Chains A and B, each alone.
Chain A
């Protein structure tokens, strides 16, 4: 890599980081660096200054805030995976992490960096949107909260403004009747980017679906909620027939492109299959055992 020289800053608190970002021209936040360095190299991002957030204590913590869990943006995938809080409240995130990048990258890559990179095939945003996460953005001008589903504007474009740091990701704890599941199709068994991914979140009360979010990854410029698919689950008893119908809707809602990883048609097919499988997994997770036999059409 022959990247242009830049200046390095490593503030140890958030205020300092914010004022550096506010004051310095062409400054980029550096978290794990697993995207940033190659992005600077390929010219996708320009940086005269790099502000490292790796030593800001408040960004590397995972906290229980009662109704929600707050994950510091600078927590690495490895830290998230081994956090007892995440293991307890969000096993779906823990399950997702082995599908994310390689063991070495997971030591460095942060959850906040994955969200901020905002590439279409990123894994964290998909499950986080399904879980109804919000992100906290802090700058000298103050703090604001944004629904993660509204955070992405286009490939590599977000609502985050210059000078803002993504500090925390807030995820509401699930009710007893809800669950979610993430699935990713990658060409090889591990360590490759998603051709398509799907996360499903369902709240099923007395066999009826009360809340649903089907999120699709790598099949549009940003992660998207398959709105029709999600809506069509509401008020329904989740059985094999419904699942196929929902999956069919999700297939239509996907807006994939052709590239080396997969064609449009193939990606749509993957959305269909992954949606079906993800919903089935969620049903298995959230229904009490006796009710599972009600959901006909697939083996429980």
Chain B
């Protein structure tokens, strides 16, 4: 029954949630998701967009999935509401949840509650759904991480999990006991039950909310800011403008710190931060922002990079003449000579437009100052260390007095790799008010904050001999980067640096321009600067193969990079199995039967890729080891805690690091727990960017594990009276190599150690080898201890009447060294493919002529749904990287790189026309077909 309060807007309503009755007081406009999250503390229901697009807020309404963000709490009265918290009973997972855990269907976990609930509604009606039925049921919830493959599999196989599955550590006998096994994620239980706490799920006592006022103009001088009216608004606690924050610039690369905390003299894009407010709730913040009067003088703006470079164009930031933020001028070998030696030289221009990471979890940060003058910041970030580093600069206090805690993170993909305005403003607002302050972006604000992929226009030219040997490559990239630098410098270098790593290029020239415009700043997005040039290169390579009547796979094999090579731009490639990847996809995809033989409208294409396994140099100069780890063994020896400063953003790092450390110590996976990304308790790690965690974090964790093992073996050696060299530690058992029976349980040795020596602590650290790379300007970018390689074959169907592309299948193979957790590797590859399918065919940030984003939402910025992603047949090839822990290297970013080329080449094979601008939309396909027809009619 609804009881109305006096004032007419507030109502008592009884809701039935997970079988319990709750009487809550709401206003008429309160949505169910607010009640669940904020009043009932059921934070397993996520808020990803608030307008019905993303599905993260899914609940079951009388047994059917529904968006809790669109449902008024009052309308939910009398209806049966089930949230993720209502799926397991007495702490025991439902078989469907067990399926999610064991099939690897969870990554960042932000979509997981919705996926489990929609799956549950489906299997309640249809216990054995088909692949198509599952995909249709999931189509209303986006997953940015998994590519849906394992979610679909988990739902289809859920009945296999009526019984508890046996541990995967048992099974086949291998030398390595923990590494190389597809073990379930460390955080999967929390994520599948809705317990995992993301930043926005945290509510501190006496907490305020904050919000940022942004510029409505793409380029304008700020004449005056009047906050008087806002200050007196009931509930407003603090207002910041440039006048009451330090005048210190920040950014990513020290040579290009160019962002103010809040805009000082001018604003440079629609969305530039002008003022920040703290108030008792977000609505009051919004009202206060509306009351702040800013007087602007509009300045001419520029959005096109070519225009921006012209003399006389509006200058955005004084320090970058002609708006050229970064200029790269590389010349390796002699391209002119190379082109002369070629039998065929082709060149073409390719465009990759802006795309956005679109993690399912919006950015959020909470700052709290403690009585001792220290700051604690909870945030959804890829790098706690860089956040702390920048905060210490801006707050002018020592890093040690700032504690940054990375909570569960619902995806980053590069978009959370740098400090953001929420983190900074929350810190200042919390300081000013003396109360905790939470700040979060809504979906539209995320798009305006951006830091997504640069738009690149690429001129690519390749010289080739008749037999397919590449003689020279010349490339020019113009990167449109928006108003500030962000990671742009690095993107400009990466755009060229990674081109010579896949194939043996004897001569290579690269001209790069990173240009500022009056648009939101571009940053680092998965594959950082490389996917667009790779698309250009792989497209042109296939065109040339066809011209020379060669098989595109043969041409790639002919030029493929070999192990232990030095590239023309002085990068040292160690392990390299690109050829094996190509052979694998050729065999598995049925390439030889299909290439050139499919009917019109149907096509097959190949692309290759590869990436660094961690940047060889840090973002700011320091001699610190890049990755560090400590391990603490419990007094009784039964539990081991691994501490690492790396972050978990969904990719499975904490699982992989745990496996590595457990293997190094000789214990089983169930005994190791992991604490991460808390700058007070975990040692420094540079975090999740440049695909660095498995190799660098892994090496540090391995070393820490070995340190523990070494200390234990010394004790064990005395206990069982066997020389150290002869003792082995494996699966919680320390024993004589030559006589397995002579041994003692691991925990007994550990307990003895503690009794005799006090705490058993292991320490590990990792720095990349010194002196990586050449000595030309920018030679550090692209250096890495190791490189991944991959190949992908894609099959498509194109409707030539509507231009619509349907991707039928992907077959991909990866050289990731030793896969530490094969299931996690597959998950990364599948997720990368889905993301790049989106970038190739659907995703595009569209601006109007004034710099407004026309699609800052998830109904017009098109992420692929479960129905868009076809079956993916992903595998790894035999490989071992000596510089990696147990032979491992990266997969997360490298797996994105072959995809665009593979799809683009498949489309070309299907219809005989090339679309050279991304995304390859139906309209662009029809246009290209039309042009071809015209050319054929009027040659």
Contacts and interface: CB of A to CB of B under 8 A. Distances in A.
B2 interface: yes
Interface string A1-21: 111111110100000000000
B286 interface: yes
A6 B283 CA distance: 15
B855 interface: yes
B9 A7 contact: yes
B137 to A, nearest CB: 6
Given A3-B29, A5-B27, A192 B862 contact: yes
Contacts of B38: none
Interface in A223-237: none
In this complex, which of A104, A188, A190 has the most chain B Cβ atoms within 10 angstroms of its Cβ? A104
A193 interface: yes
B64 A107 contact: yes
A2 B282 contact: yes
Contact of B8 (A4, A7, A33, A192): A7
Contact of B71 (A3, A101, A108): A108
Given A2-B286, A108-B71, A103 B137 contact: yes
Contacts of A30: 72, 75
B72 A10 contact: no
Contacts, number: 129
A191 B140 contact: yes
A102 B862 CA distance: 14
B864 to A, nearest CB: 6
Contacts of A103: 65, 118, 136-137, 139-140
A138 to B, nearest CB: 22
Contact of A273 (B61, B801, B854, B864): B801
Contact of A189 (B29, B58, B74, B139): B139
A8 B140 contact: no
Contacts of B864: 188
A172 interface: no
Contacts of A189: 139, 865, 867-868
Contacts of A34: 52, 67, 70
Interface in B838-872: 842, 846, 854-855, 859-860, 862, 864-865, 867-868
B314 interface: no
A108 B51 contact: no
A98 interface: yes
Interface string B121-164: 00000000000000011011100000000000000000000000
B443 to A, nearest CB: 11
B55 interface: yes
A133 to B, nearest CB: 26
Contacts of B139: 102-103, 189-191
B445 to A, nearest CB: 13
A104 B802 contact: no
A298 interface: no
B923 A266 contact: yes
Interface string A171-210: 0000000000000010111111100000000000000000
B52 A190 contact: no
A190 B865 contact: yes
Nearest to A273: B801
Contact of A260 (B67, B860, B867): B860
A187 B139 CA distance: 14
Interface in A38-84: 38, 40, 50, 52, 54, 78
Interface in A80-133: 98, 101-105, 107-108
Contacts of A192: 859, 862
A196 to B, nearest CB: 9
B456 interface: no
A40 B72 CA distance: 13
B29 A105 contact: no
A85 B317 CA distance: 66
Nearest to A50: B28
Contacts of B64: 78, 107
A1 B9 contact: no
A209 B136 CA distance: 36
A2 B52 CA distance: 16
B922 interface: yes
Given A7-B9, A187-B842, A104 B55 contact: yes
B865 A105 contact: no
Interface size class of B (residues with CB under 8 A): 35 or more
Given A8-B72, A104-B58, A190 B867 contact: yes
A193 B859 contact: yes
B553 to A, nearest CB: 29
B11 interface: yes
B31 interface: yes
Given A103-B140, A105-B70, A54 B75 contact: yes
Contact of A107 (B9, B29, B61, B865): B61
Residue with the highest number of chain B CB atoms closer than 10 Å, among A2, A6, A189, A193: A189
Contacts of A40: 29
Interface in B51-70: 51-52, 55, 58, 61, 64-67, 70
B50 interface: yes
Contacts of A260: 846, 854-855, 860
A78 B141 CA distance: 17
A218 to B, nearest CB: 13
A33 B862 contact: no
A274 to B, nearest CB: 8
Contact of B66 (A8, A108, A270): A108
B497 to A, nearest CB: 34
A37 interface: yes
A7 B539 CA distance: 59
Contacts of A10: 2, 74
Contacts of B855: 260
B245 interface: no
B926 interface: yes
A262 interface: yes
B800 to A, nearest CB: 10
A33 B70 CA distance: 6
A190 B282 CA distance: 33
A8 B65 contact: no
A261 interface: yes
Contacts of A38: 51-52, 70
Given A107-B64, A187-B842, A102 B28 contact: no
Contacts of B52: 34, 38, 102, 104-105
A8 B11 contact: yes
B590 to A, nearest CB: 24
A263 interface: yes
A107 B855 CA distance: 26
Nearest to A76: B64
A3 B52 CA distance: 16
Contacts of A107: 61, 64-66
Nearest to A261: B860
Given A107-B66, A191-B140, A269-B802, A5 B867 contact: no
A-B complex: 5 closest residue pairs judged by Cβ atoms: A102-B140, A189-B867, A8-B28, A190-B139, A107-B66
Interface of A: 1-8, 10, 30, 32-34, 37-38, 40, 50, 52, 54, 78, 98, 101-105, 107-108, 185, 187-193, 259-263, 266, 269-270, 273
Interface of B: 2, 8-9, 11, 27-29, 31, 50-52, 55, 58, 61, 64-67, 70-72, 74-75, 118, 136-137, 139-141, 282-283, 286-287, 801-802, 804, 842, 846, 854-855, 859-860, 862, 864-865, 867-868, 921-923, 926
Given A37-B70, A52-B74, 14 more contacts: A1-B51, A2-B282, A5-B28, A5-B29, A10-B2, A30-B72, A33-B71, A102-B139, A104-B141, A105-B70, A187-B862, A188-B868, A260-B860, A266-B922
23 contacts: A2-B287, A3-B29, A6-B28, A6-B29, A8-B2, A8-B11, A37-B29, A37-B70, A38-B52, A52-B75, A101-B140, A103-B65, A104-B140, A105-B140, A107-B61, A108-B67, A108-B70, A185-B804, A190-B865, A190-B868, A269-B801, A273-B801, A273-B802
